[in-house]
Structure 1
Amino acid sequence: MEFRHLGRSGLLVSEISYGNWITHGSQVEEEAALACVRAALDAGISTFDTADAYAGGRAEEVLGRALHGERRESLEILTKVFWRIGPGRNESGLSRKHIRESIEGSLRRLQTDYVDVYQAHRFDFHTPLEETMSAFADVVHSGKAHYIGVSEWTADQLRAGHSLAKDLKISLISNQPQYSALHRIIESQVVPASLELGVSQIVFSPMAQGVLSGKYMPGQAPPDGSRATDASGSKTIARFMQDDLLTAVQRLVPLADAAGLTMPQLALAWVLQNRNVASAIVGASRPEQVHDNVKAAGVRLEDDLLKQIDDALGDLVERDPAKTESPANRP
């Protein structure tokens, strides 16, 4: 495993991090989830990402049980707040009330006294940013988080949040966007702003919901047990399940073979070529997937191969920075 600094902080994170969105507490039985976390630890992954809203809190609970007994100082645990977690009118968003109550719930479910990075899961248009950042500052100054991060914020939102964080003497060091060879909306605005501010990307869906694994074939039904056949996963992957896009992805198979990489390794190595990316989040339903994924750490892709990937995917790549959006209304 290789490690990178998160933003301009002294915190190191593993290039491949393990996340449990969709899987733990919903798609994968707990015994399999625990086996995947054990595989991640055995492979040298030290960074684990989750959120209070994943599977209604069950994902945090499973991760807490999976990491119980591990040396806490050897782990980086990240969680998030924003999406609705209960029926109350204040159980979503980034108000002071919700942030202060949510961190307590996350720590309880994760069985830890603190998280390393506490992240705003989206931008909240209905709460003054000053209130949100002040509440995050309270969380950090009380020792319940070391740093703060955000997810899917625009360049302007990052600049505003970072400025307030600096005034409050806390460190906003990360953004968690969707990023893959098929989804590059952060490249034109978010990445330049992040480099300016000293913020790193911890990217989710580096394999485009599994499409870049190459297992989905154009004109054919999805494999049994795949994300595209899962009740919740099928909704998030639907926009990638187009025959022209799946055909383009198949053009990457000989490129991966020539580089001595599996398709998932190629997809992960691709995002890690971006110097602003500190870590790529992977999920898994089987331990062998984890063992395959970690081999992407430290891989250097030659410029010629990067160009061939661009040529293979062509204009099917999503690049519109306007797609970096948070919901206009609180969930």
Structure 2
Amino acid sequence: MSKPSNDDRQTVRGNVLSGDQISIVRTGPIKLGADGTAHAEVILDQPVPISLSALMPDPQDRADLLKDLASVLTLESDRFDDLVAAGGMDPAIAFIGADLAKSEFCGTAERPLDLRNWNFSGADMTGALFENVIVDRTTKFDGAKLEGIVGADADRVLAFVNAAAVLRAVRLVTTPIKLVDTGVEGAGEQRFRCQLLLDCTELSLWSGDQVEVVLSGSDGRRQELPAGIADYLRQEIDEDDLDDEKVLSFEGVKLLTPGDLPVLSASSCGGRRPSREVAEAVIDAFLTETLGELDAPFELHEDGGENDAPNKCGWAFWVRSEDTTSYLHEDLGIEWYGTGYDPDDEPSDEPSP
């Protein structure tokens, strides 16, 4: 079978791991075996499953092999989606801990590269290129390094990464939670406290140019967030270096009392208007995480201008359904309206109890 041209080829560089099996789609030799010289020629369109435990009983040998594969393996196919649909490759593809720095994740406008269900947890993806790719909440970037990623879809990737990071932080301290305004104001900062009603742990969030995270148990001792999440939440924001459409904060709050409304608040920074595409991506991620798969697609509404927005803070995207009211607004921090609030009503200045 002839090799596809560069014009219609989808490429991914890295190692492909699935339990004890490695499914490989590539051309060229693969060094494998006790002496490191065995070769396997693989037809481009057909994945070859290799059982590592049968070939290499020693766990350290298998670990060394995976490390080597991470730097040399290349996936190339103009029919990648067809392979998955035909059952030739597990769609849950993992690049866990792989060295993917400056990798290229490229599809075409006609055949975008579908990264749904792919797992990049812990991978080094510094400077990676994302062009014509599909990502959603099933694409895992837990602990991945994404500094300096480029391409037309880079901002969309970051939107899902940021959303997932804060959702993980909220889940770590156990939901459901209740939001309380502590009344501390000044210098553009408003402090809120998320009280966890089940175990008395609290998560403190600051708006302004920083986000401070404090986790304390019922015994008063502080707990540490996993590496990466705390750094993300505490990051200082340099408005001069931000793209207009980058989502910088995403706070999901799920309430305890049945019938209360879970609320989304995500924001851009410095009064910049977020894009509708990013708003849809973040709201979809939140609604699915908190409510599960929705019965019907939500309709995203837009309000423009300080006097028209339902939360009176500028541009806002919001979605209203029987189960939830959500806002994407421009102020960094949390906005919360309690049960029964309607965007057409005048919002209360007091937080919900």
Alignment TM-score, normalising by the size of structure 1: 0.26
Structure having the higher helix fraction is: 1
Structure having the higher strand fraction is: 2
Which structure has the higher relative contact order (CA within 8 Å, separation 6+)? Answer: 1
Alignment TM-score, normalising by the size of structure 2: 0.25
